[in-house]
Structure 1
């Protein structure tokens, strides 16, 4: 997929809601793509996150305070229209903060999803770098949590299942309703169906605003 097509797909996904995407995935038989309810927006003016997954995995382990060279190497590989997806077992620590985010942004990264913690939230907001995470923490990862792989399939806490697998190249969409994962092989099909569902909802809202009752609207447009 060319960079231009990836950019276009991301721009179109920003115009649909996670709820519509979730309904489309259900219709496709993909029933467990939603992420855990405690994922929420911590930064970014739009309150929305959309992009292709670039996965980073780590684990809790004691080590020296000189820094995490693997984390820095992992972050060098990210590119335009990608979201860094952070996974691991480091509860209580933050996986990254402002400086890592700025380095990611320089490479075209459009946000982050962390199955863990984030810090420097005020500064992330100032840089308009969107982050969805499970919690915030001032406690750094250095000496506590270390990156051990990147661009491999990872498991993120799920809404209706214990975990959701996220593979490199999958699509992440998150908004006020939560976060969801679209498998790479289904991205374009899901997008087209979600856009159609969105168009139907726009029509119903317009008709309701013009005085049509909900029951009348559902007879015309069906369930949405």
Structure 2
């Protein structure tokens, strides 16, 4: 199994809620992209390395329909996206202009892109849903991107949903939103996340049995001992 395959395999079973807690304990509070929600409620969790794209505010001499055919354009950027990546787009929080529509999303899906994440908006939403590409965005808008934004480059550090995202950071997206795991902390999260998920599943069973919360969640030494004993019985 490749390194990235292992990352996807492990983190596909871990909630973004668990990941934010693990990163909080490492001192990272600003890792959850604000305002970014799944386009479809039943989208499965997606994990992948960030492929970043950056827009800046619209300037009339640059944000034109002709810019779509330029060497630096969203169209060319899509052709550089590797299979399995998550496209993370800095849309400046602009929700009155759609950065990607059905045709661009269809091409991303065809190239094996795992998901699109943006703090901007998407357009042609019925067609986007039909492409099967998983999308997390801040909204839906009919007008094209150039009515509110200017595309400038790909694979640069960006801000998305108020969070710094660097190329090749690991992104995890689920029903609770999108979290970035800094590349340097991926191994730390991989080590702790599965065990944390198992512990919380066990705690939920204890809650269903009527166990009071103090000392149970968060688990004190006695609770942790009972949890470890329960694992040995399996």
- What TM-score do you get using the length of structure 1 for normalisation? 0.85
Q: 1:131 aligns with which of 130, 135, 145?
A: 135
Q: Which residue of 1 aligns with 2:36?
A: 39
Change (3 A) 1:90 1:140: farther
Counterpart-to-counterpart distance in 1, 2:92 and 2:200: 40
Report if aligned partners of 1:43, 1:124 keep a CA contact under 8 Å in 2.
no
Written as runs of structure 1 = structure 2, the 5 A alignment for 1:9-88 is 9-36=7-34, 38-43=35-40, 45-59=42-56, 60-62=58-60, 63-66=63-66, 68-69=68-69, 70-88=73-91
**Runs of 4+ that moved beyond 6 A:** none
Q: Which residue of 2 aligns with 1:161?
A: none
Report if aligned partners of 1:155, 1:166 keep a CA contact under 8 Å in 2.
yes
In the TM superposition, residue 81 of structure 1 has moved relative to its aligned partner by: 1.6
Post-superposition CA distance 1:128-182 (Å, at most 9, x none):
2111111111111146533211101111233xxxxx2100000111222222111
- Bigger radius of gyration among the two: 2
Post-superposition CA distance 1:186-223 (Å, at most 9, x none):
112112212111010112223344x251347444138x
Q: Which blocks of at least 5 consecutive residues in structure 2 are unaligned?
A: 226-234
Q: Which residue of 2 aligns with 1:104?
A: 108
Counterpart-to-counterpart distance in 2, 1:124 and 1:214: 46
How many residues align? The count is 213
- What TM-score do you get using the length of structure 2 for normalisation? 0.82
Report if aligned partners of 1:87, 1:115 keep a CA contact under 8 Å in 2.
yes
Change (3 A) 1:130 1:150: same
Q: Which blocks of at least 5 consecutive residues in structure 1 are unaligned?
A: 159-163
